[in-house]
Structure 1
Amino acid sequence: MTEHTWPVPFEETLRTYLAPLRPGEPISPDLSLADHGVDSLAAVSLLLDLEETFGVAVPDHMLTASMFATPAGLWSVIDSLLVQSLTE
């Protein structure tokens, strides 16, 4: 997987947690977040930053290992919450 469809604020927030990436290096949707420095503590901070950036709250039942495995997994949860908020 090489294309992504997330907005710039998502990538900017995510990039701050991916220390091994060089500036401007593309973030692929299937990049392993754990292999790029996102441990459990960083994952919590990242989630809080994304919730604030997008004005959503991720419910506990959506917090899964697969959500934090890749950018695509993380974005799919945030995006689904954004879509849900538009229909409420």
Structure 2
Amino acid sequence: MMLTSGRYIGLEYDRMIVLFSMLDAGKEIPCAISTSAMDYLERGPQARPEQREAQFIRLRDCIEARAASKYRATEFEGSPPGIVLRSIDFRP
């Protein structure tokens, strides 16, 4: 179970999440991260909606590492099952 980078899907403004995917041997795994989690990771001012893609790209390695960890632990949520990251997932 080795996940690799998938694609950036986009900001879902109403839910304040960024959707992205990861790949497990070609199978696309749906993932999401809250915008508050991304702001927490940067420890700076809240990013504006038009800045979210660039913010995701900057944080991609950290985000994908945590998503892979939750995937290995089979911590899926939702329907269809996917990985959801929140601020608490990045706290020590």
Instruction: Name the TM-score, length of structure 2 as normaliser.
Output: 0.32
Structure number having the greater helix percentage: 1
Instruction: Name the TM-score, length of structure 1 as normaliser.
Output: 0.33
Structure number having the greater strand percentage: 2
Higher relative contact order (CA 8 A, sep 6+): 1
